Amino acid sequence: MFSSISGQLSNMFRRSSFRPEDNNVNVNTPINFIRSTESCKGEGVPVYGGKDFYLSPREAQDVDNYLRILEKKKQMEPDFLRGRAVEPRMRELLVDWVLNVCAVQIKCSQEAWTLTINLTDRCCVLMDVNKSNYQLIAVTCLYIALKYEEVVVPHIKDIAYFGGRQCTSENVLATELQVLKALKFNLHFAYPCHFLRKLRAFAQLPSDDTKKVYALAQLFADCGMIVYHTSQWLPSELAVGSYSLSCFVLGVTFNDYLFKASNKTAAEIEKLAVGVAAAVMRVRKSGQCKSVAQKYRNSSIIHNYNNIQQTLIKFMEKSKPALSSTIC
């Protein structure tokens, strides 16, 4: 799978000579990121919503439009930790720790752990957060996120246990009120997994390939949430970058339906893929951020992680220096 990597990289983001008759398909799509509509004949145009979805196509599109408005409304300011007591490296270590608690210890949903990070990041801006209370804030945000996203919530004593001696049940309850007041009880956010699921619906792949691409994209998105630079992206951008990079690594074509669903140009997808690749390599090289590997340790993907790493290294080497230099 990885033997033809050099040949693929040389053409990956070159404009295609294919000119689709469908005016809704972007003609500037990279040649290795798209297949012509001829290869999609007989498969049927994918529809987001209906069938196995709980929403009709129209309702699903309304939800997607709302999430795109919401993510822009809730986007953090660039470099939001500048001048604050919490440093980017400290944040990466804490987010990795939260991922370990959520995925390995509690085994909660993707939504709950993502909401925990969103709340914690906003507390760093809205509250007086420092080294002494940072973990307490994170545990409190985890408790809030679990109550918001999960059906069954662990007891507060079990949540406080993960935070050590400082995080007693009383401290968590007292901090919870402070956090909710600072956030004005506004806990609704868009998550990368929302947009990854939409892209999965447009993949037009066999069931096994769809699962592999989605699982690897989820791993990449988790790395993007950990790394400070990519965590500031819109959730839809992180999802597109993760899914497109996953398609490339696994040798799957980013077809015209996916390209249309991404709402991005070829240059934008390229930049997002480079950013996600850099984030994955940063997490991989960090000796302290190991929770991603632990989360996916039972997945077949993690067994090929070394091959994936080599693919990403070559991908970064062939990428534009101007883009690579802006990451991390």
Residue range 40-97, pLDDT digits in tens: 433 455 667 666 667 788 888 899 899 999 999 999 999 999 999 999 999 999 999 9
Distances (CA, A) of 108 to 23, 114, 149, 161: 43, 10, 9, 16
In this prediction, residue 108 has a pLDDT band, given cuts at 50, 70 and 90, of very high
Give the pLDDT of residue 150: 94
- Stretch 260-270: mean pLDDT: 85
Average confidence score pLDDT of the chain: 81
Parse the chain into domains and list their residue ranges: 5-17+26-36+46-59+190-324, 79-182
pLDDT in tens, 171-196: 999 999 999 999 999 999 999 999 99
Tell me the whole-structure pTM to 2 decimals. Answer: 0.81
Decide whether 5-17+26-36+46-59+190-324 matches 79-182 in CATH topology.
yes
Domain boundaries 5-17+26-36+46-59+190-324, CATH class: mainly alpha
Phi, psi for residue 153 in degrees, rounded to 5:
-110, 130
Give the pLDDT of residue 46: 64
Question: What superfamily in CATH does domain 79-182 come from?
Answer: Cyclin-like (1.10.472.10)
Give the pLDDT of residue 306: 66
- pLDDT beyond 60 at 153: yes
Give the pLDDT of residue 262: 87
Q: d(Cα 263, Cα 64) in Å, to the nearest integer?
A: 12
